[in-house]
Chain A
Amino acid sequence: MSVIETETAPSVRIAPWRLLASNRLTLASAVVLAVILVVAIAGPLIAPFGVNDVDVSRQLQPPGVAHWFGTDDLGRDVLSRMMSAVGTSLLVAVVSVAFALVVGAVAGIVAGYAGGVVDTVVMRITDVMFAFPVLLLALAIVSIFRPGLVTTIAAIGIVYTPIFARISRASALTVRTTPYVQVSKTLGTPTRSILLRHVLPNVTGPIIVQTSLSLAFAILSEAALSFLGLGIQPPTPSLGGMLFNAQGFLYQAWWMSVFPGAAILLTALAFNLVGDGLRDVLDPRQRTLLEARRSR
């Protein structure tokens, strides 16, 4: 005999990726992200002009048939430079945020779960890091080492780490006191298992949101560093570098700033929307709702 009491029965189980794809907005953002990724990888190969083809006679030309996105102050093709820049910017953003995510989340979860001295030490370190403005801290790191791609990634990664530490600590602190963690303890489950099986999955929600936000901000941080001459070194193009280079020509050549700016916006938006979709699908409660809606 089985007992059926009032329950929210799940409809048909649907594979997570299928559910993800059924959200039109998520799907569209994923397609945009895929295009950006292809451009990032293959950009220099398919670009109509060389990245550093200087032709002063063609400087500051508005968008037209030859140069779709116009040319810059040195007569370089904006589209071709952007196609190359997307790769650099994306590389910086993804690697630095991945670093911040892994280091920050591990430190935060351990601190939140362990509590006591470990928690105090980790949190005071993040306090110190928070005390400095983001750019100042990044500047300090970059000026100690030689400016360049690796230093830029390291600087942004380190600066973003405490944010992830804070967020995952707060969630871990809540999860630690829940009865299901207590039950696991009474069942004799080792701490490592509790952290991996119960704490980690339950802190993913806020972390995903923060990751998609951070990816967008990392692109902007890279732009700021490049502008100060401490990020990606010219003539290697980056979206931020192009944007800041364009600011002297805002009135004469709007295309120099609008297109790279739009690229940053589009990338950031796509990251955020895919992140939202991912968070919903990873949360079983949201998933049941989505499944019910789909099978209706």
Chain B
Amino acid sequence: MTSLVLRVDELRVSVGSHPIVRGVGFEVEQGGTLGIVGESGSGKSMTVLAATGLIDVPGRRVSGSSLLRQHDGSDLQLVGASPAELRAVHGTEVGFVFQDPGTSLNPLLTIGRQISESLEVHRRATRRQGRSRAIELLEAVGLPNPAERVDAYPHQLSGGQRQRVMIAVALACGPGLLIADEPTTALDVTTQAQIIELVRALQHDHGTAVVWISHDLGVIGQVADDVLVLREGLGVERGSILDIYDRPREQYTRELLAARPRIRDGAAPAAPASAEELLGVDGLDVRFAISTPTGRRTVHAVDDVSLRLRRGTTLALVGESGSGKSTIAHALTGLVKPRSGTARLSGRDVLRAPRRDRRRIAMVFQDSFASLDPRRPIGDAIEEPLRVHGIAGGSAAGRRARLEELLDQVELPRSFRERYPHELSGGQRQRVSIARALAVEPEVVILDEATSSLDVSIQARVLELLKRLQAQLGLSYLFIAHDLAIVQDMSHDVVVLREGRVVEAADAVTLFAAPREVYTRALLAAVPPERPRVGA
């Protein structure tokens, strides 16, 4: 017999006079996984934080019911519970894993101490007991060398390893319910696949119930038994994962399904037949000197990389974090000095060009918020290159006309030119960055993970825009990504990088149909498949 671990009814949250969650209900069974899916701002996190009593927003009002079945079989009402009651429950009955493993761990404590903390508090374990349990947990979450790593600090681990540690922290006291709030969104697809496997295995072993929050229905399909689709604080659809995939009732659910990145047969765009070479990079080599506790060391970030970008096409650079993708982009835009190598853009040298000539290659960065000056309206940001290079006739009226044209091209209202970055959504900000890149009339646009911090549904719309701009303006893209599904959607040619070296280079159709290298196949396998796991 299955029993409910958490039952939420008519949950409402408002901050000030602004309703955020407007009557949401769901339940989670022992050993089951509920996926909560929706775009940013749909109230996913707020719903779960309010239901578990972890919400900490000034001026909030929470009403409704959230019943948690505890280990001893009694039910506890979490809405309106006292801080002492909640403290007793958090960690022992409910564990949490959050999106950013970089900031969820205390940088000054060893990971062993952070895992044993809740054991010492809730289970009155001694230091030594806590430590040996921490080693067991690290082994369970698949961290290599747990007996040694237990004394490591967070900065000594990779992002994926830190997320494993976070899971170990959450599971330390054996909670009956695990809340995972976008736990893989900040990770590479390959690491994401590993974390999904890990949570499923742990769930199988311990019978833990899981609430998994994500904006990506593709990921939810790999973890969840049941799905709740949220939009603007309302549960628009609820059902088993198979029903949601095969018989979605709501238009919104269908949009989310369509937006999930996935690899399909023959989906790569066909390259224009006679595209001549526009950008040729040969033997690029970049090294960084870094200081470590053991002395100065050189990191070979890019090792003898050569690539060809054809005019009017998209060349994708693919690889995990640390593969040297972004460093190549930084070398081409003059942000880092390469040790050796050449790069020629329509026959002219790029690497040694003075800063004023840099406009031939423009770049769009991943973090749309950080790449816009918070103190300047966005019209100003887009006009900056026009002013610097005297484009658009060099007059204020000319610049204004060009600004409006650029806003039209990226499908933003013209009135947006007076807005500040924080007054825009993530997708809108990325459109501004694209408009700014186009303002210099570049020959090549580098898109450095330009859509990977966006929700999948917004990502799909921005990718659509990029394809349309390419067709209209004949742009050439250097498309940097770690997710092969969106690479297939966008690219004509693909270069797979690993640890600064080229692993495989081919046109997209060939690469996706018949990948030669093991590493490429591993990247392909990491993309959540077309079908949900339970229905596969």
Identify the A interface with B (CB < 8 A). 1-3, 5-10, 13, 178-180, 182-190, 193, 197-198, 201-202, 282-285, 288
A285 contact from B41, B377, B422, B426, Cβ within 8 A: B422
Please report the total number of B residues contacting A with Cβ < 8 Å: 48
Is A186 a contact of B335 with CB atoms below 8 Å?
yes
- List 27 A–B pairs whose Cβ atoms lie within 8 Å, in order of A's numbering: A3-B427, A3-B428, A3-B431, A7-B425, A8-B422, A9-B423, A13-B418, A179-B370, A180-B370, A180-B372, A185-B335, A186-B358, A186-B362, A187-B359, A187-B384, A187-B385, A188-B357, A188-B388, A188-B389, A189-B384, A190-B356, A193-B384, A197-B376, A283-B375, A284-B377, A288-B420, A288-B423
Measured in the bound complex, the distance between the Cα atoms of B433 and A215 in whole Å is 41
Q: Does B361 touch A at the CB level, under 8 Å?
A: yes
Told that A190-B388, A285-B374 touch, could you supply 7 new A-B pairs with CB distance under 8 A? A6-B41, A7-B423, A180-B370, A180-B373, A180-B381, A187-B358, A189-B385
Q: Does B40 touch A at the CB level, under 8 Å?
A: yes
Is B388 a contact of A187 with CB atoms below 8 Å?
yes
Measured in the bound complex, the distance between the Cα atoms of B371 and A238 in whole Å is 50
Contacts A180-B371, A182-B365, A186-B358; A288 near B422 (Cβ below 8 A): yes
Is B385 a contact of A179 with CB atoms below 8 Å?
no
Nearest 7 pairs of A and B residues by beta carbon:
A179-B371, A6-B41, A186-B333, A284-B420, A188-B358, A5-B425, A201-B375
The chain B residue with its CB closest to the CB of A179 is: B371
Is B375 a contact of A202 with CB atoms below 8 Å?
yes
Measured in the bound complex, the distance between the Cα atoms of B370 and A198 in whole Å is 12
Q: Shortest beta-carbon distance, B357 to chain A, in Å?
A: 7
B355 contact from A6, A178, A180, A190, Cβ within 8 A: A190
Q: Shortest beta-carbon distance, A277 to chain B, in Å?
A: 17
Is A188 a contact of B422 with CB atoms below 8 Å?
no
Is A185 a contact of B355 with CB atoms below 8 Å?
yes
The chain B residue with its CB closest to the CB of A287 is: B420
Is B419 a contact of A10 with CB atoms below 8 Å?
yes
* Residues B423-474 near A (CB distance < 8 A): 423-428, 431, 433, 436, 440, 458, 461
Q: Which residues of B have CB within 8 Å of A3?
A: 411-412, 427-428, 431, 461
Q: Which residues of A have CB within 8 Å of B373?
A: 180, 197-198, 201-202
Q: Does B136 touch A at the CB level, under 8 Å?
A: no
Is B440 a contact of A187 with CB atoms below 8 Å?
yes
Measured in the bound complex, the distance between the Cα atoms of B424 and A9 in whole Å is 7
The chain A residue with its CB closest to the CB of B360 is: A188
Measured in the bound complex, the distance between the Cα atoms of B375 and A7 in whole Å is 18
Q: Which residues of B have CB within 8 Å of A201?
A: 373, 375-376
Is A183 a contact of B365 with CB atoms below 8 Å?
yes
A7 contact from B370, B377, B428, B433, Cβ within 8 A: B428
The chain A residue with its CB closest to the CB of B373 is: A180
Q: Which residues of A have CB within 8 Å of B418?
A: 13
B40 contact from A6, A180, A183, A282, Cβ within 8 A: A6
Q: Which of A2, A5, A182, A285 has the most CB of B within 10 A?
A: A5
Q: Does B303 touch A at the CB level, under 8 Å?
A: no
Q: Which residues of B have CB within 8 Å of A183?
A: 363, 365, 371, 433, 436
Measured in the bound complex, the distance between the Cα atoms of B363 and A190 in whole Å is 17
Is A187 a contact of B39 with CB atoms below 8 Å?
no
Q: Which residues of A have CB within 8 Å of B39?
A: 5-6
Is A179 a contact of B367 with CB atoms below 8 Å?
yes
Is B362 a contact of A187 with CB atoms below 8 Å?
yes
Is A2 a contact of B425 with CB atoms below 8 Å?
no
Q: Shortest beta-carbon distance, A159 to chain B, in Å?
A: 30
Q: Which residues of B have CB within 8 Å of A1?
A: 411
Q: Does B535 touch A at the CB level, under 8 Å?
A: no
Q: Which residues of B have CB within 8 Å of A282?
A: 375
The chain B residue with its CB closest to the CB of A183 is: B371
Q: Does B347 touch A at the CB level, under 8 Å?
A: no
B335 contact from A182, A198, A202, A288, Cβ within 8 A: A182
Q: Which residues of B have CB within 8 Å of A184?
A: 384
Identify the B interface with A (CB < 8 A). 39-41, 333-335, 355-359, 361-363, 365, 367, 370-377, 381, 384-385, 388-389, 411-413, 418-420, 422-428, 431, 433, 436, 440, 458, 461
Measured in the bound complex, the distance between the Cα atoms of B363 and A8 in whole Å is 26
Q: Shortest beta-carbon distance, B288 to chain A, in Å?
A: 15
Measured in the bound complex, the distance between the Cα atoms of B377 and A10 in whole Å is 12
Is B355 a contact of A188 with CB atoms below 8 Å?
yes
Q: Which residues of B have CB within 8 Å of A283?
A: 375
Q: Shortest beta-carbon distance, B452 to chain A, in Å?
A: 14
Contacts A3-B427, A8-B423, A202-B373; A179 near B384 (Cβ below 8 A): no
Q: Which residues of B have CB within 8 Å of A6?
A: 39-41, 425
Q: Shortest beta-carbon distance, B319 to chain A, in Å?
A: 21
Q: Which residues of B have CB within 8 Å of A5?
A: 39, 425-428, 458
Q: Shortest beta-carbon distance, A119 to chain B, in Å?
A: 17
Measured in the bound complex, the distance between the Cα atoms of B371 and A179 in whole Å is 4
Measured in the bound complex, the distance between the Cα atoms of B413 and A6 in whole Å is 14
Q: Shortest beta-carbon distance, B496 to chain A, in Å?
A: 25
Is B440 a contact of A188 with CB atoms below 8 Å?
yes
Q: Which of B335, B388, B412, B436 has the most CB of A within 10 A?
A: B388
A186 contact from B334, B372, B427, Cβ within 8 A: B334
Is B374 a contact of A202 with CB atoms below 8 Å?
yes
Q: Shortest beta-carbon distance, A285 to chain B, in Å?
A: 5
Q: Which residues of B have CB within 8 Å of A9?
A: 423
Is A188 a contact of B365 with CB atoms below 8 Å?
no
Q: Which residues of A have CB within 8 Å of B40?
A: 6
Measured in the bound complex, the distance between the Cα atoms of B426 and A6 in whole Å is 8
Q: Shortest beta-carbon distance, A25 to chain B, in Å?
A: 21
The chain B residue with its CB closest to the CB of A177 is: B370
Q: Shortest beta-carbon distance, B459 to chain A, in Å?
A: 12
Q: Which residues of A have CB within 8 Å of B367?
A: 179
The chain A residue with its CB closest to the CB of B424 is: A7
Measured in the bound complex, the distance between the Cα atoms of B381 and A197 in whole Å is 10
Q: Which residues of B have CB within 8 Å of A188?
A: 355-359, 385, 388-389, 440
Measured in the bound complex, the distance between the Cα atoms of B523 and A130 in whole Å is 56
Is A193 a contact of B371 with CB atoms below 8 Å?
no
B423 contact from A10, A187, A189, A198, Cβ within 8 A: A10
Is A186 a contact of B361 with CB atoms below 8 Å?
yes
The chain B residue with its CB closest to the CB of A182 is: B335
Q: Shortest beta-carbon distance, A115 to chain B, in Å?
A: 15
Q: Which residues of A have CB within 8 Å of B412?
A: 2-3
Measured in the bound complex, the distance between the Cα atoms of B355 and A202 in whole Å is 23
The chain A residue with its CB closest to the CB of B385 is: A187
Contacts A2-B412, A6-B425, A8-B422; A185 near B334 (Cβ below 8 A): yes
The chain B residue with its CB closest to the CB of A200 is: B375
Measured in the bound complex, the distance between the Cα atoms of B335 and A260 in whole Å is 57
Measured in the bound complex, the distance between the Cα atoms of B388 and A197 in whole Å is 12
Measured in the bound complex, the distance between the Cα atoms of B373 and A284 in whole Å is 11
Measured in the bound complex, the distance between the Cα atoms of B336 and A16 in whole Å is 40
Measured in the bound complex, the distance between the Cα atoms of B389 and A178 in whole Å is 22
Is A193 a contact of B370 with CB atoms below 8 Å?
no
Measured in the bound complex, the distance between the Cα atoms of B425 and A10 in whole Å is 12
Measured in the bound complex, the distance between the Cα atoms of B381 and A193 in whole Å is 13
Q: Which residues of B have CB within 8 Å of A13?
A: 418
Measured in the bound complex, the distance between the Cα atoms of B431 and A187 in whole Å is 17
Q: Which residues of B have CB within 8 Å of A2?
A: 411-413
Q: Which residues of B have CB within 8 Å of A197?
A: 373, 376, 384
